Amino acid sequence: MCSSDLKQKLRAFLRRLGAAYGSAIILMFFSEYFFLNEGPVEELLTTLQSDPLLAVPAFVSFAGFYTLFTYPMLVLLSGFNVRTLSGLLLAGAVFGWATEGLTIPVIYLAIPVSFSFPSIGWHALIDVMAGWFFVRLGMRRFGVSGNAIMFIALGAVWGMWATWFWGGAEADAMAPINPEDFLLMVAVTSGFWLLGLVLADRFGAANFKVSKWEVGVIGLIYIVLAPVIAFPYLPLSLLIVPVVALTILALWRGRNIEGNATVLERLHTSRPPWWSYVLVPLTPATAVLVYPWFFESNRRVPTDIIVQTLFLAGTLWFVVALIIPFVQRSKSNEAQ
């Protein structure tokens, strides 16, 4: 192999890595900080109050873990030419299962419900479809006013949802975050989210074709980690295997169905205008304006109702998304 070919392949790999890392930051932001996951938020606030500089390597390494979860999703979207929202949901479910089952055992704690929430009901619906796809698509397609409305609405939801854990029955439940700490958390995490948007848009492409050695390395990591996490929950934990296999089969069946541009093409045929990034801070600004009202009035969102709605919506859509490729291919065969 000549040196020019090697340089070209290395450059292509670094671009893929940049795209995956940027996407991982976006997904991590919605998964941990927009969701307001108590553990990571408490750890972040403690770090910021003791030694703020340590927050940088903490973010960098945390996003590295999310890159491991994000890579397979991007490979599926590219390899199977995913064009539909239902296909995106299926790929997002794979991301959700990796997030909740590769290094932690959340998907095994309440089988079969835990197969769906939070992996599908939050990660696929909110992290992937809303945060990773629709927000970025809106940055490309909405005008200035449309982007402003989108980011303001996102901030309002963040400020309200930050109350979801209040009044938890668990003995170690985190106390409500005071507005000053909330402002600090929101400002720092939003800055990192903005970095993720820039990286994903700068290095992303309409395809994400990985090399064999990348598949081998990622596959080996999954083969080693997944059984270790699943082992204490045998034999029920084995049920995730046919679920994942059926999901990938559905994506494979739908790979040649004609339709609109692929998901990756819609995001990477063009880049967002520069001013859309300038409007991103409207989200944290709105969140820190909305949250204090809930804090002072001691009001919280109806967490149970929202979670049940997300669980049902995610589960039903997932089942439909599994069926669609087989029905469409059957109709196509009949037509021929």
Quick: pLDDT tens for 215-271: 999 999 999 999 999 999 999 999 999 999 999 999 999 987 777 899 999 999 999
Long-range (24+ apart) CB contacts under 8 A made by 302-307 are 303/164, 303/165, 306/164, 307/117, 307/121
Read off the pTM: 0.95
Residue 57 vs residues 44, 47, 64, 104, 272: alpha-carbon distances, Å: 11, 11, 10, 21, 28
| CB atoms closer than 10 angstroms to residue 180 | 10
The residue whose two tokens read 């290395």 is 10
- The runs of H, that is alpha helices, within the chain are 3-28, 38-50, 55-79, 85-101, 113-116, 135-141, 144-161, 179-203, 212-230, 240-253, 263-268, 274-278, 282-297, 303-335
Phi-psi region of 298 (alpha: psi -120 to 50; beta: other; left: phi over 0): left
The residue whose two tokens read 């670094």 is 14
Per-residue pLDDT 10s for the chain (336 aa) are 567 788 888 899 999 999 999 999 999 999 999 999 999 999 999 999 898 889 899 999 999 999 999 999 999 999 999 999 999 999 999 999 999 999 999 999 999 999 999 999 999 999 999 999 999 999 999 999 999 999 999 999 999 999 999 986 565 678 899 999 999 999 999 999 999 999 999 999 999 999 899 999 999 999 999 999 999 999 999 999 999 999 999 999 998 777 789 999 999 999 999 999 999 999 999 999 999 999 999 999 999 999 999 999 999 999 999 999 988 765 555 444
